[in-house]
Structure 1
Amino acid sequence: MGDWWQRNIIEPGKLPLLLALAAFVLTFLITRVITRLIRAGRGPFGNVKAGGLHIHHVVPGIILAVVGGFGAVASGRHGFGSYACAVVFGIGAGLVLDEFALVLHLDDVYWSEAGRQSVEVVVLTAALVGLVLVGFSPFGVNDLSDEELQDRGSVLTTVVVNFLLALGVLSKGKAKMALFSVIIPFVALFGIIRLARPGSPWARRFYRRRPRARARATLRAYHHDRRWSGPSRVLGDWLGGKTDAELTEAAEAAHHR
């Protein structure tokens, strides 16, 4: 176990990635705690304003991500400079992705249902980076032997096949599974053999004249969303805090008791 940890986690080439991931996760968690305290009117924190303009934390996040990214490129892979830049980049990425939904919608949806997209993106990012950190490489390249890696044709074939599988999963409307299949190609097999989600490019193309397939896909999507909506909401509330609508609903329910 100790040899595995040293070989895959703290080797010099992966230490910056580990530091960036740790900074990313900690920044997101600390930011969410602070924003929830500000929202509740507790603690010494408050919104940052300049001339009446609310400065969202995505702004310093972009600056830190740019500084950390360019600094990492300039400092190389090893040494204190690369480690420091990795931490700066991780902090900036955490601040940016915490307000991913705001950037996507160009609206302050932080405490709305749409704002949950930020939490989902952060969790997905942390999971994917964690997989890369423990030894997975995109499109199954890590599964190739040394002899196969010397053969460019084998490498190219593996990458193209796994890329097409991930693209097929994406066309079926399963974006999260497609992302994970980039790192773990085996996951794509489950997405390919299962029914596409209603309204996906695959469903519009191949289920157009197959009413039974459309009906089965709709029913499967309904049961899937219903099964996972509860745990997803609990995780979202725990990590990101309740939405304004949920707080209003809870307040009205308490008022009517």
Structure 2
Amino acid sequence: MRAADAEVEIVITVPNHGIGLWMVGAFVVTFVGTRVITRLIRAGRGPFRNVEVGGTHVHHQVYGIIAMLVAGAMEFAYRPDTPGAQILAALFGAGAALTLDEYALWLHLEDVYWSHEGRKSVDAAFLAVAVGLLLVAGFNPFSDSGRGAAANAAFAALLLVDLLFSVGAILKGKTATGVIGLLVPLVSVVACLRLAKPDSPWARWRYRPDSRRAERALRRYPPGRRTRMDALKDFVGGVPKQ
């Protein structure tokens, strides 16, 4: 058989050398270390102090943003192989941890680190770790597996349905399950079909104050309700000030 008559398909697979695991690992280590240091500063123990330049408190999210910018620019510019790729992944993960640890600050545009509003930073970090672990485990419905045109159209339709369920879950006040549902569709379906939280946009739009659903939502999610996850957040992030 002549070479011109043969069709040879060459598939080149480039392993990621565990880059995702490096990123998630650096995120977890940096987040835990940051929380330990900030709690020591809060208690006035150890050698650590807040960093001030010209009387201005420099929040650690500044270092995180710089780390992510540097890691992203280096990755796009040089596309390094091992070990450079792992180093940049770890740098990006560490920067993301420093930045998300003050997520509540850039959400509220004020220093709410130790307040109840500041607990949103811990929520964001927990969610980032969960999504990162799912991606490392291979949960990626957006990957291209060489499907045909018809299969791609059906796949796009399924993704659109999954996105609608995820948005519905988020509108019902279930942000974590809504985001995770983008990778594990069944999670968003269950969250979207269940009762909305009483302070969620869905409840404000769809549950009349005197309706049965509004009463059920209040019974299911009463004010001051605490779960085991709240206890874990207190352990990791510290108890918010009253």
Alignment TM class, shorter chain as reference: 0.7 to 0.9
Give the number of aligned pairs: 229
Report the equivalent of 2:19: 16
Q: Could you report, residue by residue, the CA deviation over 1:53-89 in whole angstroms, capped at 9, with x for unpaired residues? A: 2111111111111111221222327432222211111
Asked whether the equivalents of residues 64 and 98 of structure 2 are also in contact (C-alpha less than 8 Å), the reply is yes
User: Percent identity between the aligned chains?
Assistant: 41
Are residues 221 and 40 of structure 1, via their aligned partners in 2, closer, same or farther at CA, if it must alter by over 3 Å? closer
TM-score by length of 1: 0.79
Contact 1:75-1:82 at 8 Å conserved across structures: no
Stretches of structure 2 lacking an aligned partner (at least 5 in a row): 1-13
1:74 aligns with 2:82: no
Tell me if structure 1 keeps the 8 A contact 2:30–2:94. Answer: yes
* Cα distance in 2, alignment partners of residues 41 and 178 from structure 1: 39
**C-alpha contact 2:162 2:189 (8 A) present in aligned 1:** no
From the two aligned structures, give the one with the greater helix fraction: 1
Q: In 2, are the aligned partners of 1:149 and 1:155 still within 8 Å (CA)?
A: no
Match of 1:134 among 137, 145, 156: 137
Residue 234, structure 1, aligned to residue 237, structure 2: no
The one-letter amino acid of 2:232's match is L
Q: Where does residue 5 of structure 2 map in the other structure?
A: none
Paired position in structure 2 for 1:41: 44
Q: By how many angstroms is 1:23 displaced?
A: 0.8
Residue 63 in 1 paired to residue 66 in 2? Answer: yes
Cα 1:215–1:54 shift into 2, 3 Å: same
* Distance in 2 of aligned mates of 1:203 and 1:39: 37
Q: Report the more deviating stretch, 152-161 or 71-80.
A: 71-80
The answer to whether the aligner puts 1:194 opposite 2:194 as a matched pair is: yes
Q: Is the 8 A contact 2:207 2:214 kept in 1?
A: yes
Query: After superposition, what is the alpha-carbon deviation per residue over 1:31-52, rounded to whole angstroms, capped at 9, x for unaligned?
Result: 1111122222222222211122
Report if the CA contact (8 A) 1:29-1:239 is conserved: yes
Distance 1:150 1:74, change over 3 A: farther
TM-score calculated relative to the size of structure 2: 0.84
Is 1:87 paired with 2:84?
A: no
Amino acid corresponding to residue 151 of structure 1 in structure 2? A
Unpaired stretches in structure 1, ≥5 consecutive residues: 1-10, 246-257
Q: 1:150 to 1:82 in 2, by over 3 A?
A: farther
